[in-house]
Amino acid sequence: MRIAVLADIHANREALDAVRAAVAAEAPDAIVIAGDIVGYGPDPAYAVEVAAQYAAGGAQVVLGNHDQAVRQEDHGMTEAARDAIHWTRDQLSGEHRAFLAGLPLTVADEDRLYVHASADAPGRWHYVRDAQAAARSFDATGAHLIICGHTHVPAMFYARVGHPPVAFRPLDDQPAPLIATRRHLVVAGSVGQPRDGNSAACFALIDLEQRCVTMRRVPYDAERTARKVLAAGLPPALATRLVSGR
């Protein structure tokens, strides 16, 4: 079974379309959207509609903090994030809002758990950036494979009983192993706002038969999206971030 994981789309139409084409070419058995469909970017309605189409086709979709903030103020957000969410609310129809409001915080599928942020208290939106945070996720669930987003930086963590997790930075477009004797946590990077120094969109391709994860990078016209961010009156820093990948 092969699973494509799209996290942190953030209303970036150009990145999403590029990733959709790459995913279609891969023809995975399942698709997961790991939260933050909206926020930051200039095309929230389009992003929600694409996510809803995927969901109608059987994709698993979980709630992200920016998705939740459409209906419930998040006081932990940065000023730029809050400004973008206030703008986003005016771009969404009742149908768009209802779709986001109906998303679950987590989805369990066999021995896998899909969640936007950390598996421990997922609605508090903790980041999984290091081994200590990964350990809290592992302790919160018996799932053998945890898949999340939220940090915008691709990462993996390996764990075995009685030992702390080990962090691993997967190389772009290179398979990283899923070891039979370990549990794993995969942070899928970001489709719409990468922050690892590479502006190309990122999605994770998980192959359960070959036991590997590949962080697929997909170039797109980030400068076009940046111009749309500025034209919408969104914070300029959000445009800069797209081009720099940070």
We report the CATH number of the domain holding residue 189 as 3.60.21.10
Asked, for residue 2, whether it belongs to a domain, the answer is no
Asked, for residue 240, whether it belongs to a domain, the answer is no
Q: pLDDT tens digits for 132-178?
A: 999 999 999 999 999 999 999 999 999 998 889 999 999 999 999 99
Distances in whole angstroms, Cα of residue 193 to Cα of each of 44, 81, 113: 14, 12, 23
* The total number of residues written for the chain in this structure: 246
Asked, for residue 242, whether it belongs to a domain, the answer is no
Q: Which domain holds residue 48?
A: 9-207+215-224
Distances in whole angstroms, Cα of residue 224 to Cα of each of 91, 220, 241: 19, 9, 13
Amino acid identity, position 162: G
Asked, for residue 229, whether it belongs to a domain, the answer is no
Q: Is the CB of residue 196 less than 8 Å from the CB of residue 154?
A: yes
Q: pLDDT tens digits for 41-79?
A: 999 999 999 999 999 999 999 999 999 999 987 778 999
Asked, for residue 239, whether it belongs to a domain, the answer is no
pLDDT of residue 74: 74
Q: CB-hemisphere CA count at 13 Å for 176?
A: 23
Asked, for residue 146, whether it belongs to a domain, the answer is yes
Number of domains in the chain: 1
For residue 111, how many other CB atoms are within 10 A of its CB?
11
Q: pLDDT tens digits for 8-30?
A: 999 999 999 999 999 999 999 99
